[in-house]
Amino acid sequence: MAAGYDAMIDTWESWSCLITDDPRDEWCAALTGRLAPGARVIELGCGGGTAETIQLARWFRLTGVDLSDAQLRRARRRVPGAVFIREDLTEVVFDAGSIDAVAAFYVLNHVPRDLLPGLFGCVHDWLAPGGLFLTALGVSDTPAWTGEWLGAPTFFSSYPAGRNRELLRGAGFELLRDELVTIQEPEGPAEFQWVLASKAAPCG
């Protein structure tokens, strides 16, 4: 994945600009509207510093996580106020209860789906009580797909929407918003499951 996104950095940005109905701005606003200024936020798979990364860094203490060196170099230039670390998002570690929100835009469908339960559990552990998790998940029943995409090797894996919900709830999340959204990618329609979830505060 790292080599693929190193190679396609410019191609991906040109490709993504052709998508005019991407709801990520709306969902990012739904997240940021619930956070206090200065909240600590993690963006998993931050890429080269998209508009959402810039927005998150403007108001919050943002740490971006990505495997692609080329993407991270670009993100550091675009968003100098954030911290960026090169790490596998399935292996990165943050202190328990130390994070106010975690965002993952269109990246978890690059994670082998059998690793999602553990990853959701880690995100839940990182979050403070009442912390928020925003993500866009694939919804096809795809155990593993490896091939060329945008001129570079890549990997996709995902569960259907119902299984995603089960895994998130099993990790301890309350689903605040859960919607299936179809967007028009250059190759045709693509469906994603957008979820805004919270770590419930302990009783008492």
Superfamily of domain 2-199: Vaccinia Virus protein VP39 (3.40.50.150)
Q: In sequence order, which residues have a C-beta less than 8 Å from that of residue 56 and are 6 or more positions away?
A: 28, 32, 41, 43, 62, 82, 103
- What are the structural domain ranges in the chain? 2-199
Per-residue pLDDT of the chain (204 residues; tens, 9 = 90+): 666 676 667 787 787 888 889 999 999 999 999 999 999 999 999 999 989 999 999 999 999 999 999 999 999 999 999 999 999 999 999 999 999 999 999 999 999 999 999 999 999 999 999 999 999 999 999 999 999 888 888 999 999 999 999 999 999 999 999 999 999 999 999 999 999 999 976 544
Element (H, E) at 99: strand 99-104
Q: Please tell me the pTM assigned to this model.
A: 0.94
Q: Are 102 and 126 in contact (CB under 8 A)?
A: yes
| Angle made by CA atoms 124, 116, 22, in degrees to the nearest 5 | 90
- Other beta carbons within 10 angstroms of residue 78's beta carbon come to 15
Instruction: List the structure tokens of 63.
Output: 């740490």
The per-residue pLDDT for 204 is 42
| Angle made by CA atoms 181, 176, 83, in degrees to the nearest 5 | 85
The per-residue pLDDT for 201 is 60
Element (H, E) at 101: strand 99-104
